[in-house]
């Protein structure tokens, strides 16, 4: 099953209008169902809450890397009182219909969002009222002070030095080349205020494992880089396979201080690695280092 997914995305990446075709396949598979959107809202509210424990979101300027298809995080930052949110994506994925679904699901989950973020329920309702009647995506984003750049380059924002309180990226750094990660960190360091912070949540697992219960979250570490690059490093499914240790080395190389780090390791993946031959690219790391499947950090510069 996972090989079918790899091949489907590989073929799709070579089609004209591949972004539209990918979206249609996502709709067909139920990726943007109300249930999934609701689940994603709660998941991202938890991440925004973590950011808010290190940066005061009320009245802040936020730069988000990776808007996604439904702009959930940008809307959550608006609800938390961000003065403005600059959000960048490599393609204009956002659909107005999905953003409306997000607003509807937030209304249905106000109690839980209040519980997670501590935003007063009355404030959530008031701020939703200001955007829910918008007739276009531009009108909605304008009402929420969300500035959407797509195609956009988060490594060349053009924002003034020291003008941003929080740089935020969830499920992004694993999907871009290492050179771009370095450029983003250089730009983040430039635009962050002296007491500003950067939050990154990084999915380090094999993203195809979810399509086949027979394979582990470290399955992809066995393949040679040329094969992985040929089939997976494309505009639909790019995944760099960098491990947590490598990300930390990149962060430190830019003078970043790790203010917080959480990670997840599945013991079964450690056991799998004991008998699985990994690609030479990863041979210098321990099984425990390779098995980290999720990492989130707060950085200062």
pTM flag (> 0.85): yes
Q: DSSP letters along 212-275, please?
A: -TTS-TTGGGGS-HHHHHHHHSSTTT------HHHHHHHHHHTT-EEEEEEEEE-HHHHHHHHH
| Residue 122, pLDDT above cutoff 90 | yes
Spatial separation of the C-alpha atoms in residues 87 and 148, rounded to whole Å? 5
The pLDDT tens digits for 261-300 are 999 999 999 999 999 999 999 999 999 999 999 999 999 9
| Residue 161, pLDDT above cutoff 90 | yes
Give the pLDDT mean for 220-228: 97
The pLDDT tens digits for 77-103 are 999 999 999 999 999 999 999 999 999
Task: Report the pLDDT value the prediction gives residue 210, as an integer from 0 to 100.
Answer: 82
**Helix ranges restricted to H, the chain:** 2-12, 18-29, 34-52, 72-79, 96-108, 110-117, 121-131, 137-143, 178-191, 225-232, 244-253, 267-275, 287-291
| Residue 8, pLDDT above cutoff 90 | no
* In the chain, domain spans: 26-300
Task: Report the pLDDT value the prediction gives residue 32, as an integer from 0 to 100.
Answer: 92
Residue 208 φ/ψ, nearest 5 degrees = -95, -10
Task: Report the pLDDT value the prediction gives residue 5, as an integer from 0 to 100.
Answer: 86
Under CATH, which number does the domain 26-300 receive? 3.40.50.150
């Amino acid at each position: 099953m996972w090989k079918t997914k790899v091949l489907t995305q590989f073929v799709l990446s070579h089609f004209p209008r591949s972004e539209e075709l990918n979206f249609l396949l996502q709709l067909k598979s139920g990726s943007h169902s109300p249930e999934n959107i609701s689940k994603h809202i709660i998941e991202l509210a938890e991440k925004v809450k973590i950011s808010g424990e290190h940066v005061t979101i009320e009245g802040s300027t936020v730069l988000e890397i990776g808007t996604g298809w439904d702009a959930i995080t940008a809307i959550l930052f608006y609800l938390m009182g961000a003065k403005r949110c600059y959000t960048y994506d490599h393609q204009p994925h956002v659909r107005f219909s999905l953003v409306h679904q997000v607003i509807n699901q937030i209304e249905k989950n106000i109690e839980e969002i209040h519980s997670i973020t501590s935003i007063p329920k009355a404030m959530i309702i008031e701020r939703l009222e200001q955007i829910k009647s918008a007739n276009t995506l531009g009108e909605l984003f304008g009402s929420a002070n969300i500035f959407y750049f797509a195609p956009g380059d988060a490594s060349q924002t053009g924002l003034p030095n020291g003008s941003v309180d929080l740089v935020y990226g969830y499920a992004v750094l694993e999907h871009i080349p290492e050179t771009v990660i370095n450029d983003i960190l250089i730009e983040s360091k430039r635009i962050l205020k002296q007491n500003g912070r950067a939050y990154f949540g990084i999915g380090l697992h094999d993203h195809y494992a979810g399509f086949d219960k027979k394979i582990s979250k470290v399955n992809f570490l066995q393949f040679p880089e040329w094969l992985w690059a040929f089939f997976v490093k494309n505009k639909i499914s790019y995944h760099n396979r960098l491990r947590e240790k490598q990300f930390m080395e990149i962060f430190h190389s830019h003078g970043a201080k790790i203010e917080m780090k959480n990670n997840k390791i599945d013991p079964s993946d450690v056991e799998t690695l004991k008998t699985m031959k990994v690609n030479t690219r990863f041979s210098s790391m321990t099984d425990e280092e390779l098995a980290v499947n999720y990492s989130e950090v707060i950085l200062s510069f």
